[in-house]
Structure 1
Amino acid sequence: MSANERDYAEKRDFIRMRVDAGVSLIHAGQEIAGVCLDLSSSGMQVQAQHPFNVGDQLKVRIDSEHAALKGLEADTEVVWARKEGDDQHLGLKILKMY
């Protein structure tokens, strides 16, 4: 099996949930607003106007709208980045969740 075939197969091993939720991306002491487009147990796709590079380490925070539910905080790494108009779509691998 080639690396591309393995990558595709691994992507299908995790259920992705469409989210469309506001996120805060923290990088080098700067907080940048973005939108989480989808989320799985191992990563997420995020849209932001700030340019990031593959390999950048980002802390991601998704606040909960419900007092009884805790939001999500995770350390992530950019594994791919694609420019789309004025925005950039990012594939983030979750390294650690809080």
Structure 2
Amino acid sequence: MSLSGKPFDEKRDFIRMKIETPLEATLTGDGGTYKGICRELSGGGMQLELDDELAQDSEWEINIASNHGHSPQLRAVVKVVRVLPQGERFATGMQIIEVID
């Protein structure tokens, strides 16, 4: 079935998972590290809650940490596609460009 034939809620290529996982973000070439919470995750992107406002179209390396002290569960290069102020923080939508081993 094509995407146009699906109900609106199912038009995404990947299902979103609601999660609340700590993360670290490093700006590509910047070396700065920023912390936040990953609120949603799918095969194509993620929704983050960050203290800092990021520039749209900037690229980042994301490390979503394991709560059990293991190696990072996900390392990826992502691109900022949306930034929305939410009180003192920023809801930041990111597209996954590349998953890093």
CA–CA distance in structure 1, aligned partners of residues 94 and 11 of structure 2: 13
| 1:35 equivalent in structure 2 | 37
Which residue does the alignment assign to 2:62? 60
- Residue identity opposite 2:86 in structure 1: E
Distance of 1:11 and 1:20 partners within structure 2 = 24
* SS at structure 2 position matched to 1:25: strand
Q: TM-score, normalised by structure 2?
A: 0.80
Residue in 1 that maps onto 2:26: 26
Number of aligned pairs? 91
**Residue 95 of structure 2 is aligned to residue 86 of structure 1:** no
- Structure 1 residue ranges without an equivalent (≥5): 1-7
- Runs of 4+ with deviation above 2 angstroms: 8-13, 65-70
Whether contact under 8 Å (2:63, 2:72) holds in the other structure is no
Identity %: 29
What is the root-mean-square deviation of aligned Cα atoms in Å?
2.0
Mapped partners of 2:36, 2:70: distance in 1: 24
How big is the shift at 1:12? Answer: 2.4
Q: Would the aligned equivalents of 2:83 and 2:92 in 1 still touch at CA under 8 Å?
A: yes
CA distance in 1, matches of 2:48, 2:15: 16
CA deviation after TM superposition for structure 1 residue 11, in Å: 5.3
Looking at structure 1, the residues matched to 18 and 99 of structure 2 have their Cα atoms a distance apart, in angstroms, of: 19
Please report the TM-score for the alignment, with normalisation by the length of structure 1: 0.82
Deviations along 1:13-64, one digit per CA (max 9) or x if unpaired, are 2100011000001111100001000000000000001110111111100112
